[in-house]
Amino acid sequence: MDAAADELLRLAFDRAPAMEANQAIARIRAEAGDELSGATSYELVLPTDNVRSFLLDHTLPRLVDYLESSGAKLPHCGGVFLSVFSGDTLHFLHARDVVELLSRWSGLSMAELKTRYGPR
């Protein structure tokens, strides 16, 4: 596995077989959400190689835009977790942890991420 994928997936707070994705995502939503609204899953399929480039070039801009426009503002990204498919395993990561990692990798601060990739 790619070193960047290893670093990302070490952030996982839970895992499940990918074949059980629907049930596992529903379980995480129920555990992470409050009584009025469940948590939101942002789903992502990791490529087998060039993971760092994929995450910085494709995922980071879309993720920041989604978080900022949905009200799950950086840096806390409240109520959002990532469901990351890698091989036959589904990994669950807090959005705030992923954004923090990608911020570090990109060299951009949270404010710079918001300005560059947030809604216009």
Q: What is the Cα–Cα distance from 51 to 1, expressed in whole angstroms?
A: 10
- Fill in the DSSP letter of residue 55: I
50-56 mean pLDDT:
97
What pLDDT sits at residue 32? Answer: 77
Q: What is the pTM of this model?
A: 0.93
What pLDDT sits at residue 120? Answer: 81
Query: What is the signed CA dihedral for 64, 65, 68, 73, rounded to 10 degrees?
Result: -10
pLDDT tens for each residue of 3-50 = 999 999 999 999 999 999 999 999 999 887 664 467 899 999 999 999
The answer to whether 70 and 40 have CB atoms below 8 angstroms apart is yes
The answer to whether 29 and 39 have CB atoms below 8 angstroms apart is yes
Q: Locate tokens 């993720």: which residue?
A: 63
Beta strand residue intervals within 11-115, DSSP E: 14-17, 40-45, 80-86, 89-94
Residue 90 has pLDDT above 80, yes or no: yes
